[in-house]
Structure 1
């Protein structure tokens, strides 16, 4: 999947100067979130390309495997959780994480800790029905090499399940209590039927040649639609994030 490759290139630490932050300390912090908030807590280590998943009863409600708790994954991607996210929301989540990374990368190191991602996404539960889940993400940077070391993701079943079926994606300044970036990203309102079809295939990781075959159109037509998608979905100061997502 193209967008995963782009994220891996940006997120995984390639620095020769290793971060000395204590992984055990941050694993304890992740465990505390799971125990205190009832949130599935995922600590991803960019230096070792591993994740540690802590599962409270929320995980059982979402139909996740509770046999290994906590579980250790040889990837920064919590695939068991990600595959339960609605396909549309999964693509938006990846795009938003790229935008968050770009924003953090442009900031001075001393203020990065003030920011986090707050999203509401749809996830399949144990009954194979979609429910709204509150997703939060925090970045922890290394004081040794200035690189992103940890990402902490929290998944918590939302209290309010009555909202319209549109997912919220926000970047917030926690210190000021301000929303910095807010996107509904409701593609249904701004893309044509054909563009929605192509976006769906892009989100599933298909290349333009494959999409052209599926839809019986030329590669040039697919490329034109993909460019139109980028132009229609652009937001201030984050066009490059969308380009990184699709190319």
Structure 2
């Protein structure tokens, strides 16, 4: 199993900070970026081979390779998404299909979160039989923007989309996923079907198709958690409030 970080996004709502760097390189704790936190978390749970999907301002990430590898004790491989400014992240994840073929812990490059998320997902797979495990915040009050999830009584994912009434949702997928090797080929097929039909869709739309075809996706409740998806300046301010507490 490897670590996989999706860091191709431009983060237009975070300008001018993202005029020359992707939002994964937003600084949230001194000089520590969102990408730093992702790599640190993956390394802390023993995942030292990490693939990063880059796109917008890719060179701003790749030029840091030596520093990041030395600081976190990891080996980085980069995949370039040349459609990052045109298409959505379903295509980004599909591009990494060879990387996650033997299993991967996937992290969105705009999610600021503690390492407990990775630990919780890895613990869940020890007793589970799912092909995919998604990290679920079932405590947060939801609105239209969130990637919402409906589950059955056992936590199996039934529906995942932003396009549902928040009142119907069981919680929010926070953008961290564990993909098992045995599910990789079927997931790749689902992702390819989705982006070829509509390249502006999310990889969660691929998860939905995977589930609709009979694949098992298990949600993993995270309990009370300080995390944030950094989409705008308010989110960035919140990230800077909480990121400094992760080492405490």
Q: Identify the structure with the greater helix proportion.
A: 1
TM-based fold match above 0.5: no
Structure exhibiting the larger radius of gyration computed from Cα positions: 1
TM-score by length of 2: 0.30
